[in-house]
């Protein structure tokens, strides 16, 4: 381990302090604790250990996590509870994609699934009446040849949208729609 990197860590030599600091920083910036989302976004549990062993500071680890997971941060424009709801939904999407066959995360951070002639994307959606987050699935005609992006400009607008509070609802409805209309798409 690089000796200068250790100086960047708040309390060098103690992995558990590193994780505690990550927890505190993430909670302050993104309204969720690392303990709440760790198994969803890092199912193997190795990410914080690799970061610690590599001399990454807790704040740098959190900065990367926020960017990688497309978390929103607490700010003047977005109420804390809305930030929290969005970020918990993003963590749930990460877990869903990890556990579900055919779902992936593109290099630009979008979660998607492709069939022969269409692409489905999934993202958190806010229900302003219920004041909570659910999940929205959009179906796009066509597929991208690149894993860097889930949807390209050439694919136009979504042909259908589904939403629900439980991930399985809009995903199931989207797959049913794709199956039901597969002979009718252009």
Are 132 and 184 in a shared domain?
Answer: yes
pLDDT tens digits, residue range 112-148? 999 888 999 999 999 988 889 999 999 999 888 877 7
pLDDT tens digits, residue range 61-86? 999 999 999 999 998 788 899 999 99
Of the residues 71, 91, 111, the one at which a domain ends: 91
Q: Say what the pTM is.
A: 0.85
Helix (H, G, I), strand (E, B) or coil at 92: helix
Domain count of the fold of the chain:
2
Are 106 and 177 in a shared domain?
Answer: yes
What's the rounded Cα separation, in Å, for the pair 16 and 63? 19
Tokens representing residue 40 in the block: 């969803």
Are 84 and 112 in a shared domain?
Answer: no
Are 173 and 105 in a shared domain?
Answer: yes
What's the rounded Cα separation, in Å, for the pair 118 and 182? 9
Are 85 and 108 in a shared domain?
Answer: no
Host domain of residue 52: 1-91
Tokens representing residue 10 in the block: 């708040």
What's the rounded Cα separation, in Å, for the pair 153 and 135? 23
Of the residues 57, 91, 125, the one at which a domain ends: 91
Are 80 and 3 in a shared domain?
Answer: yes
Q: Is the pLDDT of residue 4 over 70?
A: no
Of the residues 42, 74, 91, the one at which a domain ends: 91
Are 33 and 71 in a shared domain?
Answer: yes
Are 72 and 116 in a shared domain?
Answer: no
The dihedral over CA atoms of 158, 175, 162, 33, expressed in degrees to the nearest 10, equals -110
Q: Is 126 exposed, middle or buried (0-12, 13-18, 19+ CB in 10 A)?
A: middle
| Bridge partners of residue 126, in order along the sequence | 133
Are 16 and 80 in a shared domain?
Answer: yes
Tokens representing residue 104 in the block: 């992936």
Give the phi and the psi of residue 21 in degrees, each rounded to 5. Answer: -65, -40
157: Cβ–Cβ under 8 A, 6 or more apart, which residues?
A: none
Sign of CA dihedral 149, 153, 155, 156: positive
CB count in 10 Å sphere of residue 72? 19
Are 141 and 163 in a shared domain?
Answer: yes
pLDDT tens digits, residue range 136-185? 999 999 888 877 788 888 888 999 999 999 999 999 999 999 998 887 75
Task: Summarize the confidence of residues 22-45 as an average pLDDT.
Answer: 94
Are 176 and 144 in a shared domain?
Answer: yes
């Amino acid at each position: 381990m690089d000796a200068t990197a250790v100086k960047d860590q708040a309390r060098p030599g103690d992995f558990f302090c590193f994780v505690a600091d990550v927890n505190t920083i993430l909670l302050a910036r993104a309204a969720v604790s690392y303990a709440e989302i760790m198994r969803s976004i890092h199912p193997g549990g190795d990410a914080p250990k690799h970061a610690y062993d590599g001399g990454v500071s807790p704040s740098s680890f959190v900065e990367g996590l926020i960017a990688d997971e497309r978390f929103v941060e607490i700010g003047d424009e977005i109420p804390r509870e809305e930030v929290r709801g969005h970020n918990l939904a993003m963590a749930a999407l990460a877990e869903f994609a990890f556990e579900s066959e055919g779902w992936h995360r593109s290099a630009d951070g979008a979660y998607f699934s492709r069939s022969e002639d269409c692409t489905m994307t999934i993202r958190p959606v806010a229900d302003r009446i219920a004041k909570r987050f659910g999940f929205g699935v959009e179906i796009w005609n066509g597929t991208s040849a690149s894993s860097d992006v889930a949807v390209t400009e050439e694919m136009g607008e979504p042909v259908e949208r589904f939403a629900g509070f439980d991930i399985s609802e809009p995903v199931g409805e989207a797959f049913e729609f794709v199956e039901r209309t597969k002979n009718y798409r252009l």
